[in-house]
A = this chain, B = another copy of it.
Amino acid sequence: MSFDVARIRQDFPILGSMVRGKPLVFLDSGASAQKPRAVVQAMVRSMEERYANVHRGAYQLSEAATADYEAARAAVARFLNAADPREVIFTGNSTAAINLVAHSWGRGVMRPGQAVLISELEHHANIVPWQMLRDDGRGIELRVCRVTDSGELDMEDLAAKLADGKVGLVSIAHMSNVLGTVVPAERIVAMAHAAGAKVLFDGSQAVVHRKVDMQALGADFYVFTGHKLYGPTGIGVLWARLEHQERMPPFLGGGDMIASVSFERTTWAEPPAKFEAGTPPIVEAVGLHAAIDYVTAIGMPAVEAHERTLVDHAMRRLSDIDGLSLLGAAQDRGGVFAFGLDNAHAHDLATLLDRAGIAVRAGRHCAEPLHARFGVEGGTCRASFGLYTTEAEIDYLAEALTKAREFFS
């Protein structure tokens, strides 16, 4: 099937909107992607035809809803090429998934004297939970792998920081939400495992842009969030090996995560139920399933190829603009570009672009340390692409940036 972006755009009702009298040019998919009609309709159908609370209901509607919810888990497992659907835990978003690991693995399994190794290019979601673990008085250290000037992970520094064998967990973004950098995941796994460390990848950005394969990757934990993958808000995924889930104490307590409860003693349900306390995001799971079906039908290789075209095009067009500086220049990168203009603050620039119908994000994109690392404390503008982004939109952005520079001159 050839990739027909015009046809794809018709699947996204919102892309036909007008903003301040101009057609919407949505370049903020990295923050959250728009939803295809198939996702919206699946959620409507779930609520209007097949809704009830899941599990424990011995009647037909509840059985239907339970089947839908578990089918979503199986779909996520297939999407990740996981060995077993039970490796898939549903959470509220990526942030909740990483916090789950920081609590259950970090506080429940890691030992004093061990370290967590993150990097300078992390999103706050993959920084703050580990700082909180470090500051919790359990003797867990936090190490930070450097990033090179071109925005890549400094692999020598990674090796050096793994060398003493104290690192218990390496937790790194598979793809940066600011630089677009895709890290060499297999190599990281090999190095970490050789040094006795487990590996978590924050795949919030990566799964949107690449085919990922848990069995090939060999990591220990993998995290992503529904709303960036053209799915609903309110749902995220933690993929975790069953043997790790067995060792981890539960995080949140409540219904559905127990085997039996008495006031004296409570026993936990089997994984993954043990980590899904309370009524789960049922309708959101159905929506995520539809989103996965949607991107799978297009094909992740086609999505990736389209994006490579966009990235090359954007590189060419943006480098042509006087006074514009791009953050990072990684070899292996996805469709995310953070940039500054010499004579305009990121926020003023975003406001100008908004007037032209262009939605870009301005600020530090929940990656303040990375902005400090590159000396752009004031923030950057970020344009990020989805599978519905066109080269014409990038041309329009380039034109608007050129005019913006004139405006502020």
Contact = CB atoms under 8 A, between A and B. Distances in A.
A235 B92 CA distance: 9
Contacts of A261: 124, 127-128, 368-369
Contact of A96 (B131, B227, B252, B358): B252
Contact of A234 (B58, B235, B351, B366): B235
11 contacts: A14-B49, A58-B350, A58-B351, A58-B361, A61-B359, A95-B252, A96-B277, A98-B254, A128-B253, A234-B283, A255-B366
Contacts of A225: 278-279
Give this chain's copy count. 2
A34 B49 CA distance: 10
Nearest to A228: B279
Contacts of A62: 28, 31, 359, 361
B258 A59 contact: no
A102 B358 CA distance: 43
A195 interface: no
Interface string A6-45: 0000000110010110001010100110110101100110
Interface in A362-380: 362-363, 366, 368-369, 372
Choose among A47, A360, A372 the residue with the greatest number of B CB atoms under 10 Å from its CB: A47
Interface in A53-92: 53, 56-62, 92
Given A59-B360, A132-B253, 11 more contacts: A17-B49, A26-B52, A28-B53, A28-B62, A31-B57, A59-B350, A60-B354, A128-B266, A131-B253, A131-B263, A234-B282
Interface of A: 13-14, 17, 19-20, 24, 26, 28, 31-32, 34-35, 37, 39-40, 43-44, 47-49, 51-53, 56-62, 92-96, 98-99, 102, 123-125, 127-129, 131-132, 142, 144, 225, 227, 232-235, 250, 252-258, 260-263, 266, 277-284, 347, 350-351, 353-354, 358-363, 366, 368-369, 372
A274 to B, nearest CB: 11
Nearest to A129: B253
B31 A40 contact: no
Contact of A32 (B19, B52, B262, B354): B52
Choose among A250, A278, A361 the residue with the greatest number of B CB atoms under 10 Å from its CB: A278
Contacts of A43: 43
A109 to B, nearest CB: 16
Contacts of A360: 59
Contacts of A278: 92-96, 125, 225
Contacts of A39: 47
Contact of A125 (B93, B255, B368): B255
A262 B28 contact: no
Contacts of A57: 28, 31, 359, 361
Given A99-B277, A361-B57, A263 B127 contact: yes
Contacts of A124: 253-255, 258, 261
Nearest to A347: B58
